[in-house]
């Protein structure tokens, strides 16, 4: 006994009130499971709503232009053996005796001068009734133009990028036989059995059990269950969606190469080849970048199209540091805390040491005092002088105080590590910094001299800036950024007075350090820089 079944809009993700741009069935039509009933289009994607069962359309309850959401009633289907036994509607027969017929753009509503974004056939291809010939896209919708007759393509009259309207010639077809659409006979046996594909041409060859014959579309090994939400949001035409469903391909994992990242049949075929060769573990078949984050690569760009260019090899230091910084950025949840320190008194004290420093043949910079102040803060807050274990389950606390300082060189930044900063006087530390910085600029540092740091300092004081976000140099858990100091009017409670303020930027690993700890660390550091005598306490 046949039953009437309501067909509702299924789960379509986070979309609601989506426009119906096309109704693909009419009362009396016979549909198979997974046949498209309507096409929806949001501001982000177009999607087909498939039939959940086989049967005969008894009533269509929506029209183009309506808005639907999950649960909206689409059609009523008569399911059961009776539905399958009815004859499918027969398209108008082709003129007898073969011959050639020109195919033109049919009635496409109020659209005109619509862009051709994809041509699905080539001269010599065999097409069946309702096979997609081209895909059009306006500013509101995308649509496929089907073949009204069956035959062989003799001539293509349009190309991708052309604009067409109703009546524009598309192709010339040499008619084959009656040119009618074959009825889906296989659906009559059982409404629960998977239907035979209606399309003719190369696609059915894909469904042939192994060993498969040669085909334009490569066969596909077993594929995991399609993510319907990702499939629905994919930017692809109904024909490509149908093609992907026939092959069991999840369009949510395919990267489109067409206009506006639209997925084409060639993209689906390329994805299938990558699955067969075991290269499609990452989304869209792209190899996962270093660190396994699964982030799709930035596409290559031919810059010569825009003007003259010159290519130079990236310096070796930048190649090495770039990979390290990329790992740090992907693996560490970083947060930056910004503050200012009053170094007016510190700068006055530093200037008072110039005569003594000249006798010793050294130059005392503000950075040497900052290094000393940082060590004092590390002692007061031991979590900043620690590293996270490789399994992320424990902290490794260090009993030494080695500070890395970023040095600008012609080939890029390097970070030599100054050991036991807590045990070295200011003059000795200043002399070591001058000597190490020179060897860094000459490219004579050894790998050992750039390892073992507890915390790093990146100073832009000689260049400028008011703030920036330095990246944590793993396995350290924090890095201090320093910008150029500037005179600023500061309110002392009764009046504004000029004070020399130093911008500080502390970036930290949020897995180890929380915001309150970072704020306390910087607050302590600013107090020490304001009065270095605090290090004696």
Catalytic residues, which ones? 510
Specify whether the CB–CB gap between 196 and 178 falls below 8 A: no
Angle at Cα 28 formed by Cα 27 and Cα 32, nearest 5°? 105
CA 332 to chain centre: 19
The DSSP code for 456 is: E
Nearest to 42 by CA among 7, 63, 75, 14: 14
Which residues make Cβ contacts (< 8 Å) with residue 339, sequence separation at least 6? 503, 504, 506, 522, 523, 526
Is there a contact between 473 and 321 (Cβ–Cβ < 8 Å)? no
Report long-range pairs for 514-520 (Cβ below 8 Å, ≥24 apart).
Answer: 515/335, 515/337, 517/381, 517/383, 518/335, 518/337, 518/478, 519/337, 520/381
Q: SS3 for 102?
A: strand
Residue indicated by tokens 């050294």:
362
Q: DSSP strand E in 195-318: where?
A: none
Q: Residues near 483 by Cβ (< 8 Å), separated by ≥ 6?
A: 460, 461, 464, 465, 466, 467, 468, 502, 503, 505
Phi, psi of 146 (to 5 degrees): -85, 160
Neighbours of 168 (CB within 10 A): 18
Dihedral (CA of 443, 444, 447, 450) sign? negative
Rounded CA gap, 407 and 444, in Å?
A: 13
33-69 residues labelled b (16+ CB within 10 A) or e (exposed): bbbbbbbbbbeebbbbbbbebbbbbbebebeeebebe
Alpha-carbon dihedral sign for residues 16, 21, 25, 31: negative
Rounded-to-10 torsion of CA 159, 162, 168, 169: -10
């Amino acid at each position: 006994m046949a039953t009437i079944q309501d067909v509702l809009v299924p789960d379509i993700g986070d979309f609601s009130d989506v426009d119906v741009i096309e109704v693909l069935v009419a009362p009396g039509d016979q549909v198979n499971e997974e046949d498209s009933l309507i096409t929806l289009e949001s501001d982000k994607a177009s999607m087909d709503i498939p039939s959940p069962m086989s049967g005969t359309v008894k009533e269509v309850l929506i029209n183009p232009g309506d808005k639907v959401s999950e649960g909206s009633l689409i059609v009523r289907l008569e399911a059961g053996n009776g539905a399958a036994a009815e004859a499918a509607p027969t398209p108008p027969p082709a003129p007898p005796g073969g011959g050639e017929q020109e195919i033109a753009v049919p009635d496409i509503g109020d659209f005109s001068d619509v862009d051709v974004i994809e041509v699905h056939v080539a001269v010599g291809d065999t097409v069946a009734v309702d096979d997609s010939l081209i895909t059009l896209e306006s500013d509101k919708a995308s649509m496929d133009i089907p073949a009204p007759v069956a035959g062989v393509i003799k001539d293509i009259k349009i190309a991708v990028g052309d604009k067409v309207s109703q009546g524009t010639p598309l192709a010339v077809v040499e008619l084959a036989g009656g040119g009618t659409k074959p009825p889906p006979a296989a659906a009559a046996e059982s409404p629960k059995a998977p239907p035979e594909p209606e399309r003719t041409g190369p696609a059915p060859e894909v469904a042939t059990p192994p060993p498969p014959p040669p085909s334009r579309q490569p066969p596909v090994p077993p594929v995991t269950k399609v993510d319907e939400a990702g499939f629905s949001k994919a930017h692809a035409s109904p024909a490509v969606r149908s093609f992907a469903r026939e092959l069991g391909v999840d369009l949510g994992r395919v990267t489109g190469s067409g206009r506006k990242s639209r997925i084409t049949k060639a993209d689906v075929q390329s994805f299938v080849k990558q699955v067969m060769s075991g290269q499609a573990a990452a989304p869209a078949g792209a190899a996962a970048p270093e660190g396994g984050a699964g982030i799709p690569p930035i596409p290559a760009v031919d810059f010569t199209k825009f003007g003259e260019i010159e290519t130079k090899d990236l310096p070796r230091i930048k190649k090495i540091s770039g990979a390290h910084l990329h790992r740090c950025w992907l693996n560490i949840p970083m947060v930056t805390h910004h503050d200012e320190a009053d170094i007016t008194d510190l700068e006055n004290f530093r200037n008072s040491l110039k005569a003594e420093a000249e006798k010793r043949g050294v130059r005392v910079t503000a950075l040497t005092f900052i290094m000393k102040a940082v060590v004092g803060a590390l002692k007061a807050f031991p979590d900043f002088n620690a590293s996270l274990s490789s399994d992320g389950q424990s902290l490794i606390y260090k009993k030494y105080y080695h500070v890395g300082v970023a040095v600008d060189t012609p080939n890029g930044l390097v970070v030599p590590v100054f050991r036991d900063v807590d045990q070295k006087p200011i003059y000795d530390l200043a002399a070591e910094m001058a000597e190490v910085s020179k060897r860094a600029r000459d490219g004579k540092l050894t790998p050992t001299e750039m390892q073992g740091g507890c915390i790093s300092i990146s100073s832009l004081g000689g260049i400028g800036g008011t703030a920036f976000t330095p990246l944590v140099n793993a396995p350290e858990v924090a890095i201090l950024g320093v910008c150029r100091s500037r005179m600023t009017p500061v309110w002392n409670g009764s009046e504004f007075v000029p004070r020399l303020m130093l911008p500080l930027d502390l970036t930290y690993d949020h897995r180890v350090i929380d915001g309150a700890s970072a704020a306390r660390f910087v607050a302590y550091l600013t107090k020490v820089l304001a009065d270095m005598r605090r290090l004696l306490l």
